[in-house]
Structure formats: structure tokens, C-alpha cells
Structure 1
Amino acid sequence: MSTQISNTRNSTAKPNLEVVDGKTAPLSEILEILDRDGGVIVHNMLTTEVVARMLEELKSTTTATQVGPKTSHKLVNHFWGEQTKRFTRLAQRSRTFADEVLVHPILLGVADALLKPHCASYWMNTGQMMIVMPGGNPQYMHRDSDDWPTMNTPKTPICQVSCMLALSDFTAENGATRVAPGSHKWTDYKREATEDEITQAVMPLGSGMIYTGKVLHSAGANKTKNEARFGLHMSYIYGWLTPEEAGCLGVTEEQAKTLTPLQQRLLGYRCYDGSDLNGGRLWTVDYEDIPTGLGWNQ
């Protein structure tokens, strides 16, 4: 059974996100809420043990990563967050990420339902740590599908499925993701959300906010003095779209050989084969699937 984290839904109340339990909620319920609201909070997606193990594997990178981007571009700085640490290559840096997040059954179930009708297969858009440090300002509201302007219209199908996983408690004070429920159904994607249309994804460690690339959202402000907000963004896109992260460049060939075919495909170590849809073979080596083209023993 789902619950709500804000006011009861009515014409005057502030919008809210529904909460379901990842241990018991059927995929159909998650998809129904996503269709209506554009986002849903799922509790118990990761155990505390899995989160602790992944954070330990990523500890050295977290410590070494500076806040803000290595660019002076004002828009990039504003989007990135001048008090935010970001890094990728998570499948290389954390086997727990590869085994527990990249192929999470709830996320793959949502991606299968929403993406597969429009592609032969999908792959990782990015797996990215987003650590909002104390003093971090709120990010500007955006749609993830902004990366592909021709796909980011009210009439185009959903091309991206995303999840913000809470690797620490997400609170209103430490920068819980801001989201405008229902904004995926707006007829005008140029208009901005007003404050009374925005809520926050307040959720405990191990939860995830699953959302589509068409809903407005942003990182919140971290108003605390000494509490970092540890988030992990995981997203998938059509196999024929260019992803944000060059997944296969962030994982060595030696590491990729130890992964399952599904993990390899999601990270870009398998080709996109649209033959059954009267499409082409993309992302090949010598026009072969990547393991074959590279001469792997299979």
C-alpha cells in the first residue's frame, strides 16, 4: 500500500510524492504512480549493508573529488553545484554498484516497461554520485530529457528512466531532491514551476525516487552546517541515444570481462542490435558485437 509524504491531494494542497515499499509494491503500482505523477518514492530499495559496502568502496574517490566542476562556465557551475561533488565510473570503482544498483530488478522492471516499446534494448545513461555538501545552493529545475531536445516535448515518448538513490537520509534541510509532480504532463515545457507546485523527496537511507526524464526536478539546498547529502543517480535511455556518461570508457576491458552480458550491455560493452525491429546494428567493432570484435573468449 502506498502513502503520501505531504498534504492530502486536492486542488489547493501542495503537491506530493507517493511512497511505496520496494519489498511489497508490485511493478504495476509503481508504473501507475509514475504515469500519474512522473515520480514515486520507493522505500527499501537497498539494504543498509549494501549502502555501507558501496560507500566504503567509493570512499577514496569521494575524499579525492573536489566540489564543483573543472570549468569556468557559469551555467555548468550552476547546474553542477559549486558545493557538490560528482563522479562516475562507478562500475569500475564499486563492484557493489555493478551488482546491486546497475541491474536493480525494480529499475530494470520500470525500464523494460517504459523504454523497450521504443527500442531493441536500453543502456546506462549514467551512474553518478551526487554529494551535496553543506552550504550547497539549490540547483535550477530541469528535465533530464533536456539532454536530447527533440525527445523533450509533451508529445514525445519517455526516453529516460531515472532514480535518485538515497545513500544517506534525504531531508528538507540537507538537500532532498525537489520535484514538481505532474510536470511531465504539462502542455508547455517552457514554463517554470512555481514554489507551490514543488515538493521534496524526503526519504530514508536505502530509498529511491524513481522518475522519468520528463518531470521537472532539481537538487535541493543543503542548509546544514556539517551534513553531506549522499545521492546516487542511476538512469537508463534508449540504446540508440547517446548517453551522458561514456560508460565503457569508465570500465576497463579486464573488468568488463568479469561482468554478466546484461551488465556489459548496460555499460556499452555490447552492441545495439535493432535487426528485429527493422533497424540497424549500432556500436559495433568490425561490425560484430563488441566481445566478438575484440576477440574475447566467450
Structure 2
Amino acid sequence: MPSKRSVRLNGIDIHLAEQGEGPLVVLVHGFPETSHSWRHQLEALAGAGYHAVALDQRGYGDSDRPEAIDQYSIFHLVGDVVALIHELGEEQAVVVGHDWGSIVAWQTALLRPAVVRGVVGISVPPWPRGPVPPLTATAERFGPDFYQNYFQEPGVADAELGNDIEGSLRRIYAGVSTSNPTPGFAGQFADPEELPAWLPEEDLAVFVRQFTTSSFTGGLNYYRNLDHNWEQLAAWQDAPITPPSLYISGEKDMVRMLYPMDEAARAIVPDLRGVVDVPDCGHWTQQEKPEVVNAALIEFLKEL
């Protein structure tokens, strides 16, 4: 079983779940998830001889939740990962991310390559920095109601998702797109008749408790920094992500359909060791198909 504790990083308390001994592997969750999304990987990586550490990112779960939106920039998120690696007494780690955690993982490898022994992105590929701000690009491509644009107004999506935390998470994790959506983000999905096998009621209850503690605001603030991040990363335009890398995605993941691992993405990861397509798998990759993900991670780790 993983042990739980908090560490002080960059002036805030960050909650960790960790298991095993050996080379360090840092696991970075996405939205709306927490360290609990890595429950299957902690045990598998520990059993394979690694020190696996999953954090609740700032704003999530049992970690601190700074109030200011600008405290959730990509530099803060990368800074937390780098500080965590050093707090654990290491000079390097393999950084694995899912969804928003993938963005953090890729950017950690870009900004601090000497600290990253290897990088794995799950669901979200390494996005090249585009010619226009991200929210301009999404509005032009998908329309002004695209979820990333909808998330921008403070308090709006926060209230929608927070009014019924359990219902919101049920629809986001397990619902299917509906032809009669209601306003908001979770309203795009129909209520599932039952939870999928990969998400037992007791695991959903953990997420519900964690978001009852944290609210959704911290996670939404990540999206509210997208354009700011784009501005701040101008100096890294076209810079390659040089550490050894791996990309994993579910074949049915909607993110993969919106942002494919195309030639432009591959061009910025010159040491790409593999692309793993997970059959019969949606967006919640490491929870839906842990055996496939664990095998791919361990194979990648052993080859470093």
C-alpha cells in the first residue's frame, strides 16, 4: 500500500502518495483527477524496483490551493515537480503525466531537461507552441463555447461542477456524449446507467471526497493560464524536448482525435522511444487499462 505525506515545496504544502524504493518516477495527474488516479501504477512500479511518487498538484485534493489565478502558471507547475524531485533527494527523475499532467511533464522536460531522465505523456501529446494564443486557436477551430474557452470566466464552471460534485464526476468519468447537452461542461455527457468496471464506487467516492475538499477552482485555473503560458514560453519556440520520451494514448480518447500525435508533435521529441496505442480505451487511460499502461511504462523505464 502507498504511504501518504505532505512536503513543503515553493511555499505551499503538496500531498504525496508514494510506494517502493529505487530510481524515482514522478506521476502527475490531470483534470479533474488527483494522485488517486495513479493507484494502479504505484504498486506496479514499486514492484518493478522503482520509487513511485504521485502528487496532488497544487489546487487539488489535499494539497494547498493558492487563491490567485496567476499562481497556476506552467512555471509554477513545473517548479513544483522540480522542487519535488530535489526534496526527495534526487537530481533526476522520470516524469509521467496524464491529461494536464502530460502538459506539465512535457514542459518539465523542455524547461529543465537535466532534471528529467525520461518523460512519458499519456493522452496529451507534446504540443508545439502555435503562432497564436491557444484560446484564440481553440475558438477559431471549435467555436467560442469550446470547453477550454468556457472555463475562462472565474466562478462559472467552478459553480457548475461544484453544485453536484458526485454527479459531475460521474458524467465526466463515465458518461457518453449526449445529443441533448445541458449548459456547461459536465452537461455534455449523459448520466451513466452504471459505473464502468475500472471505476468502482469506492474509488469514485475517493475523488468525490477530494474535490469536496478542494473544489474545482484550482484545476480550472490551469486553463485560465493557457494564454499567459503561451506568452511566457516565447523563448522556447521550436525548442526540442530532448530527454528520452514515450507517448501513450487510448484508441478511443477524444483528446487524441482533437490533438493527434502528428508529424509536428513528433518533430519536437527527437528521442521518441515509442508510441503506444491502447485498444478499447478512452481518455482515463491509466485507470481504464492499467495492465497495458504499466507494461509500457516498465519497458520504457528498463531501457533508459
Tell me the TM-score normalized by structure 1.
0.28
Pair member with larger Rg: 1
More helix by share: 2
Instruction: Name which structure has the greater RCO, CA cutoff 8 Å, separation 6+.
Output: 1
